[in-house]
């Protein structure tokens, strides 16, 4: 089954404790991206990657890091989480340049930073 898999689904952590949210896709997509969803703000892009070893900032990159060492994996790293990073996070992938087909999204990771 074609899918994007995120882990964990739920995470509660404390301020300053480094964490990683994993994302993996099995569709051989070149393009991968991370979004956060907040009430009234919709989906905002954090980082994206157009292919292996190519990453770039989205609209809200502060406090986040990513890496793309393999085509299928695109982990999101929070080096020192803060309460304002409490949010619902989605990883997504697509073939590059296929805007009409849209993204395939993961099921989401609900992060709470206390």
Partner 1 sequence: DQQVKQNSPSLSVQEGRISILNCDYTNSMFDYFLWYKKYPAEGPTFLISISSIKDKNEDGRFTVFLNKSAKHLSLHIVPSQPGDSAVYFCAAYDYNFNKFYFGSGTKLNVKP
Residues that bind partner 1 (CB under 8 A): 4, 31, 35, 40-45, 48, 50, 90, 92, 96-97, 99-108
For 16-37, letters b (16+ CB in 10 Å) and e give eeebebebbbeeebbbbbbbbe
Which CB sits closer to partner 1, 102 or 114?
A: 102
Which CB sits closer to partner 1, 16 or 96?
A: 96
Which CB sits closer to partner 1, 17 or 58?
A: 58
Smallest CA-to-CA distance from 89 within 100, 73, 102, 78 is with 78
Which CB sits closer to partner 1, 99 or 114?
A: 99
- Minimum CB separation of residue 80 from partner 1 in Å reads 27
Backbone angles phi, psi at 68, to 5 degrees: -140, 80
- Minimum CB separation of residue 113 from partner 1 in Å reads 20
CA angle 82, 84, 90 (to 5 degrees): 100
- Minimum CB separation of residue 23 from partner 1 in Å reads 11
Whole-number Å distance between alpha carbons of 30 and 52: 8
């Amino acid at each position: 089954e074609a899918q994007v898999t995120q882990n964990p689904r739920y995470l509660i952590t404390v301020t300053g404790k480094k964490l990683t949210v994993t994302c993996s896709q099995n569709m051989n997509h070149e393009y991968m991206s991370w979004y956060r969803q907040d009430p009234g703000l919709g989906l905002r892009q954090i980082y994206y990657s157009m292919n292996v070893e190519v990453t770039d900032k989205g609209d809200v990159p502060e406090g986040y890091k990513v890496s793309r060492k393999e085509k299928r994996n695109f982990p999101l790293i929070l080096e020192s989480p803060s309460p304002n990073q409490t949010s619902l996070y989605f990883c997504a992938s697509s073939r590059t340049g296929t805007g009409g087909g849209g993204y395939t999204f993961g099921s989401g990771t609900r992060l709470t930073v206390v």
